Structure 1
Amino acid sequence: MTPDPARRVLVTGAARGIGRAVADALTDHELVLTVRRAEDVARLGTELPGARVLLLDLADASAIAERVAGVEVDAVVHCAGVEGVAPAAELDPARLAAVLAANLAGPVELTRVLLPGLRRSGGHVVFVSSTAVLGAFPGWAAYAASKAALRAYADTLRVEEPDVRVTSVLPGRTDTGMQHRIHEQAGRDFDPATAMAAASVAAAIRSVLTAPGDVEIPELVLTPFTHPGG
Structure 2
Amino acid sequence: MVFDSTAGLGAPSPLPTALVTGATRGIGRAIAEDLGRTHHVILAGRDQGALDALAATLPSASTWAVELAGEEPLDGFLENVPDSGLDVVVHSAGIEAGATVEETDRVTWRQVLEVNVVAVAEVTRLALPALRRAEGTVILINSGSGFASNPGGSVYAASKFALRAFADALREEERGNGVRVSSVHPGRTDSDMQRALVAKQGGTYDTDFYLAAQDVADAVRLVVDLPGNAVAESVSVRPLRKA
Q: TM-score, normalised by structure 2?
A: 0.87
Could you list the per-position Cα deviations for residues 87-121 of structure 1 after superposition, in whole angstroms to 9, with x for gaps in the alignment? 11111110000000000000100000000010111
Could you list the per-position Cα deviations for residues 169-209 of structure 1 after superposition, in whole angstroms to 9, with x for gaps in the alignment? 11111111100011112222211100110101101111100
1:61 touches 1:109 (CA, 8 Å); kept in 2? no
Give the match for residue 192 of structure 2. 177
Higher relative contact order (CA 8 A, sep 6+): 1
Give the alignment partner of residue 54 of structure 1, picking from 38, 57, 64. Answer: 64
Give the match for residue 126 of structure 1. 139
Give the match for residue 153 of structure 2. 140
2:139 touches 2:182 (CA, 8 Å); kept in 1? yes
Give the match for residue 92 of structure 1. 105
1:32 touches 1:53 (CA, 8 Å); kept in 2? yes
Asked if residue 83 in structure 1 is aligned to residue 96 in structure 2, the reply is: yes
RMSD: 1.6
1:71 touches 1:114 (CA, 8 Å); kept in 2? no
2:18 touches 2:87 (CA, 8 Å); kept in 1? yes
State the alpha-carbon separation in 1 of the partners of residues 57 and 100 from structure 2: 38
Asked if residue 23 in structure 1 is aligned to residue 32 in structure 2, the reply is: yes
1:17 touches 1:177 (CA, 8 Å); kept in 2? yes
Asked if residue 207 in structure 1 is aligned to residue 222 in structure 2, the reply is: yes
1:167 touches 1:218 (CA, 8 Å); kept in 2? yes
Give the match for residue 32 of structure 1. 42
Cα shift at 1:137:
1.3
In structure 2, the gaps of 5 or more residues are 1-13
2:62 touches 2:80 (CA, 8 Å); kept in 1? no
Give the alignment partner of residue 181 of structure 2, picking from 137, 149, 166. Answer: 166
Residue identity (%): 40
Alignment-mate amino acid for residue 236 of structure 2: V
Alignment-mate amino acid for residue 61 of structure 2: A
Cα shift at 1:136:
2.2
Asked if residue 6 in structure 1 is aligned to residue 15 in structure 2, the reply is: yes
1:12 touches 1:79 (CA, 8 Å); kept in 2? yes
Cα shift at 1:48:
2.9
Cα shift at 1:140:
1.1
Give the match for residue 115 of structure 1. 128
State the alpha-carbon separation in 1 of the partners of residues 49 and 198 from structure 2: 26
State the alpha-carbon separation in 1 of the partners of residues 49 and 102 from structure 2: 36
Moved more, 56-65 or 189-198: 56-65
3-state secondary structure, aligned to 1:196: coil
Give the match for residue 77 of structure 2. 68
1:85 touches 1:182 (CA, 8 Å); kept in 2? no
State the alpha-carbon separation in 1 of the partners of residues 237 and 167 from structure 2: 17
Moved more, 184-193 or 216-225: 184-193
Alignment-mate amino acid for residue 165 of structure 1: R
Give the match for residue 3 of structure 2. none
Q: TM-score, normalised by structure 1?
A: 0.91
Aligned residue pairs: how many?
A: 222
State the alpha-carbon separation in 2 of the partners of residues 77 and 38 from structure 1: 19
State the alpha-carbon separation in 2 of the partners of residues 146 and 19 from structure 1: 18
1:61 touches 1:106 (CA, 8 Å); kept in 2? no
In structure 1, the gaps of 5 or more residues are none
1:18 touches 1:176 (CA, 8 Å); kept in 2? yes
